[in-house]
């Protein structure tokens, strides 16, 4: 099914009955009403925050009729839809997207102008909801945007964290984390519904009993419970009249505080239960790809999944719904393993609460879940100790045991009692402790299992879960990730969007393959000039943002070389640092004259998990290198290293459109897909990248000539590991690498202190798990080619245009089409 075409481009035609008049005067009336009656202030005395809140609510009104209509039609048709279960949604700011979806931007700009208010200032007032860590959370946000735009019924379920991903600051170059109080100034986009709370239970024990029908059953006698309060958010489609729902849960104590204890003076004890319950949705775990956090994290997972399944089964579905038909009505998509506890939860609901028998319930459950894996790092595949799971969710553990028992019986039957295989495939691991392997549970229960790029899906099948692929032929599939062009092209890059529309007309924003029509323009000199002007414009815009935000300046004559993503060893920010230090060393040693190199500004953006020591050391190193390089007169300003703190969606929207070069340099076989790589290509940056994740598909599409490939291939990586990798041998045999590492080791970037970066240097020389040193030479050579290529302005621009023209495949609308065809079978509803 093709994504829905915008029905109209003019806002007037879009206003449904019952929404405020889509005229400038109508808007002004609504806005002032919100300011006066909603905020209780006069325009003359209102703060920017008052104005922002009033504007957000006004815009929200425009979507309301469509939202209610979407819900009404869904209740009427009961069309099959997707319930996307995700512990993370990295949404980014809402205002701009809501304006875009409603087509109201111009009216609002003009209306606010009449009130003497600047729209840009109100946009800047919004604090983005950072309810995700990185790629996985941002992907969820792109997917729900695409589903709404394609008119596919979807409800997103997740957690309304009171504090999102931490706010990063640097103190003397080191990362310091601060709580992200994103709700402090008001949350105009959410609709709380305390009356629709669900109860989620934990702990206690299970017991057998004989039911009234004489059947022996199990039941869970829980030990404690919390309330889950739903907060609804609108997910508007792009100018198509559909508004889906995102429902995030907040935890609250079931009982108000204990008044008797309070009156006795023990204030802490009086609110203990409240604090305990509310901790569940207090904060997003600031980690990415490394498991930690344990009990509270499992509580969070079960909390939102249980609330969501109950909500769906008992509130969203009609009262008389025949649950045997559940698979015709919903597919629960498991965004990584975080929501996998939903599998035994649905089983428990069907068996214990709805009194189905096991086989019926299992047949339904197996059709109602599908699982997406987002990683290959073994340490990121979640396991829960049987001890913890049994304590927190005893009934679920029983159910998991039975699922496992029946599954392993089938395995044993199929493979003649092959015990080795049986223990390999067991959902319960025996070592180092008894634990539930959540990825296995998801694979056994899921109708489909998918990876997020071709290479990743293939490695998932061949290396991570080969026994399961053999046992369940056809279960494994691929859906390559995508990104929403609404946010990451139209909103982030209005100048490029206008240029594209001038060339190929409207419609491409919901049919991104149409960017192909730009190809001939790569040969058009005037178009190339305009394209370059767009880049320069975006660099100047970035400059303004960074001057104000961090006091950094960006020179629009520099090649802008950008590496923004979570800080992780496998992503290899250290390799990037080694390149910068090499360039610097070439200058200070006199090997090259500053005037002879392509001037470059390197931009980093990266948060490190607070407990990930070496990642934090790498941040410190980047800042140390920046401080020296940026201030060394010998460099003559030809190299500059900028590391704005607190990289987030808002900053991404400014950085990516300005970039010339996109750094995608993970060790081959380690980055599942990447999605930043897609955003850069769509915004006309060339990629320097390894043969990894979706880089491979990007290169295939944009062409070898428009992509700087370097580094070991995945099989070569494996072979080198097998042979025994000795990083120091690369250090010994490559003088330029040796000089770069020696500079760091000697304290050139730490005021002569050799200890500060010793852990990073030691790690590189003696461990280097992700083979930065093995890829160093190839990387430096590729970077030399980049420098030379950039000097040929016309050829570079041609390549950049071709990157845009050939990246339409990476729209998340296409990803959604593939999920619909291969996994969900949920056609557009209207
Ligand atoms: C990320 C992958 O690292 C990235 O390559 C991919 O583009 C993105 O997911 C979206 O598919 N994975 C995670 O964020 C991740 O695995 N997070 C933790 C749950 C382990």
Lowest mean pLDDT among 4-8, 55-59, 169-173: 4-8
Give CB contacts under 8 A, 24+ apart, made by 42-48.
43/115, 43/116, 43/117, 48/121, 48/122, 48/125
User: How far is it between the farthest Cα atoms of the chain?
Assistant: 90
Q: How far apart are the first and last CA of the chain?
A: 12
Q: Annotated catalytic, 566?
A: yes
Pick the residue whose CA is nearest to atom 20 on ligand 1: 289
At residue 291, the pLDDT reads 52
Q: How confident is the model at residue 242 (pLDDT cuts 50, 70, 90)?
A: very high
At residue 109, the pLDDT reads 97
Whether residue 382 has its Cβ less than 6 Å from ligand 1: no
707-709 sheet: strands from edge to edge: 639-642, 600-605, 559-564, 661-664, 686-689, 707-709
To test the pocket of ligand 1, the residue of 132, 133, 136 to mutate (highest count of ligand atoms within 8 Å of its CB) is 136
Q: Annotated catalytic, 70?
A: no
Q: How far apart are CA 764 and CA 248, in angstroms?
A: 42
**Torsion, CA 652, CA 654, CA 659, CA 665, rounded to 10:** -10
At residue 524, the pLDDT reads 98
336 Cα–ligand 1 center, Å: 8
pLDDT tens, position by position, 83-98: 999 999 999 999 999 9
pLDDT of residue 790 exceeding 70:
yes
pLDDT of residue 5 exceeding 80:
no
At residue 315, the pLDDT reads 96
Whether residue 374 has its Cβ less than 6 Å from ligand 1: yes
Q: Annotated catalytic, 616?
A: no
* Nearest atom within ligand 1 for CA of residue 456: 5
390 Cα–ligand 1 center, Å: 28
Q: Annotated catalytic, 571?
A: yes
pLDDT tens, position by position, 309-326: 999 999 999 999 999 999
- Residue 515 C-beta-side C-alpha neighbours within 13 Å: 28
At residue 7, the pLDDT reads 43
Lowest mean pLDDT among 16-20, 256-260, 515-519, 719-723: 16-20
pLDDT tens, position by position, 46-70: 999 999 999 999 999 999 999 999 9
Helices and strands, counts by H and E, the chain:
35, 25
Q: How far apart are CA 363 and CA 445, in angstroms?
A: 9
Q: Which domains does the chain have, with CATH numbers?
A: 1-77+105-123 (no CATH), 78-92+128-481+817-824 (3.40.50.2000), 528-810 (3.40.50.2000)
- Mean pLDDT, to the nearest integer, of 630-654? 98
At residue 2, the pLDDT reads 46
Q: Is the ipTM of this complex over 0.95?
A: yes
Whether residue 336 has its Cβ less than 6 Å from ligand 1: yes
At residue 288, the pLDDT reads 62
- Mean pLDDT, to the nearest integer, of 642-661? 98
Q: Please state the pTM of the whole predicted model.
A: 0.96
Q: Annotated catalytic, 785?
A: no
pLDDT tens, position by position, 673-696: 999 999 999 999 999 999 999 999
Chain-wide mean pLDDT for the chain?
95
pLDDT tens, position by position, 365-409: 999 999 999 999 888 889 999 999 999 999 999 999 999 999 999
At residue 292, the pLDDT reads 57
At residue 6, the pLDDT reads 42
At residue 14, the pLDDT reads 41
Q: How confident is the model at residue 267 (pLDDT cuts 50, 70, 90)?
A: confident
């Amino acid at each position: 099914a093709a994504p829905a075409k915008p029905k109209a481009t003019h806002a007037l035609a879009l206003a449904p009955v019952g929404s405020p008049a889509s005229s400038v005067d109508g808007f002004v009336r609504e806005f002032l009403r919100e300011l006066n009656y909603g905020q209780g202030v006069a325009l003359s005395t209102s703060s920017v925050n008052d104005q922002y809140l009033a504007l957000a609510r006004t815009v929200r009104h425009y979507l309301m009729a469509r939202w209610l209509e979407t819900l009404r039609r869904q209740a009427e048709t009961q069309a099959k839809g997707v319930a996307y279960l995700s512990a993370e949604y990295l949404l980014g700011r809402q205002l701009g997207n809501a304006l875009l979806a409603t087509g109201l931007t111009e009216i609002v700009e003009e209306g606010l102008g009449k009130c003497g208010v600047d729209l840009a200032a109100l946009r800047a007032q919004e604090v983005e909801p950072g309810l995700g860590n990185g790629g996985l959370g941002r992907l969820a946000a792109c997917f729900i945007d695409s589903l709404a735009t394609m008119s596919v019924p979807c409800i997103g379920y997740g957690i309304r964290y009171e504090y999102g991903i931490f706010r990063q600051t640097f103190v003397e170059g080191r990362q310091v984390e601060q709580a992200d109080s994103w709700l402090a100034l008001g949350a105009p986009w959410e609709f709380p519904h305390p009356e629709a709370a669900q109860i989620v239970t934990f702990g206690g024990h299970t017991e057998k009993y004989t039911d009234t029908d004489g059947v022996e059953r199990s039941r869970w006698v829980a030990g404690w419970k919390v309330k889950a309060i739903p907060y609804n958010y609108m997910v508007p489609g792009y100018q198509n009249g559909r508004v889906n729902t995102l429902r995030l849960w907040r935890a609250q104590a079931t009982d108000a505080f204990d008044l008797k204890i309070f009156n006795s003076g023990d204030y802490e004890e009086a609110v203990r239960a409240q604090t305990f319950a509310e901790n569940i949705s207090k904060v997003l775990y600031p980690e990415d790809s490394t498991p930690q956090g344990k009990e509270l994290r499992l509580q969070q997972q079960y909390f939102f999944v249980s609330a969501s399944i109950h909500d769906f089964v008992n509130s969203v579905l009609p009262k008389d719904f025949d649950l045997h038909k559940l698979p015709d009505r919903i597919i629960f998509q498991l965004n990584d393993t975080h929501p996998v506890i939903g599998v035994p939860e649905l089983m428990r609901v069907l068996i214990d609460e709805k009194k189905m028998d096991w086989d019926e319930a299992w047949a339904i459950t197996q059709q109602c879940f599908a699982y997406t894996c987002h990683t290959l790092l073994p340490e990121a595949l979640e396991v829960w100790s049987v001890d913890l799971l049994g304590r927190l969710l005893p009934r679920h553990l029983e159910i998991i045991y039975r699922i496992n028992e029946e599954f392993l019986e089938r395995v044993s039957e199929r493979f003649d009692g092959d015990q080795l295989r049986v223990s390999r495939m067991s959902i319960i691991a025996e070592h180092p402790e008894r634990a539930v392997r959540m990825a296995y549970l998801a694979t056994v229960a899921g109708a489909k299992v998918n990876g997020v790029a071709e290479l990743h899906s293939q490695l998932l099948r061949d290396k991570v879960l080969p026994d399961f692929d053999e046992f369940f032929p056809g279960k494994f599939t691929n859906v390559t990730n995508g990104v929403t062009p609404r946010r990451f092209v139209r909103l982030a890059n209005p100048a490029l969007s206008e240029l594209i529309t001038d060339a190929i007309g409207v419609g491409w924003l919901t049919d991104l393959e149409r960017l192909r029509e730009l190809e001939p323009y790569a040969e058009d000199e005037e178009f190339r000039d305009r394209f370059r002007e767009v880049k320069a414009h975006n660099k100047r815009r970035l400059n303004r943002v960074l001057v104000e935000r961090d006091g950094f300046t960006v020179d629009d004559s520099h090649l802008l070389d950008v590496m923004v993503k979570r800080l992780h060893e496998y992503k290899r920010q250290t390799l990037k640092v080694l390149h910068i230090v090499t360039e610097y060393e070439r200058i200070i040693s006199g090997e090259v004259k500053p005037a002879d190199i392509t001037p470059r500004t390197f931009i980093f953006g990266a948060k490190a998990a607070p407990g990930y020591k070496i990642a934090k050391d790498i941040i410190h190193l980047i800042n140390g290198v920046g401080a020296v390089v940026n201030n060394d007169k010998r460099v003559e300003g030809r190299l500059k290293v900028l590391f704005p703190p607190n990289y987030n969606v808002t900053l991404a929207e400014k950085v990516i459109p300005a970039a010339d070069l996109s750094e995608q340099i993970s060790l081959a076989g380690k980055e599942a897909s990447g999605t930043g790589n897609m955003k850069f290509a769509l915004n006309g940056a060339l990629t320097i990248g390894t043969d990894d994740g979706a880089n491979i598909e990007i290169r295939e599409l944009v062409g070898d000539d428009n992509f700087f490939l370097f580094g070991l291939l995945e099989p070569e990586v494996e072979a080198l590991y097998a042979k025994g990798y000795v990083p120091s041998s690369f250090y010994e045999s490559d003088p330029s690498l040796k000089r770069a590492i020696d500079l760091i080791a000697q304290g050139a970037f730490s005021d002569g202190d050799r200890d500060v970066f010793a852990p990073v240097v030691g790690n590189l020389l003696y461990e280097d798990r992700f083979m930065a040193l093995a890829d160093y030479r190839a990387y430096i050579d590729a970077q030399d080619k980049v420098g030379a290529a950039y000097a040929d302005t016309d050829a570079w621009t041609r390549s950049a245009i071709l990157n845009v023209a050939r990246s339409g495949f990476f729209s998340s609308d296409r990803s959604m089409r593939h999920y619909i065809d291969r996994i969900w079978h949920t056609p557009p509803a209207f």
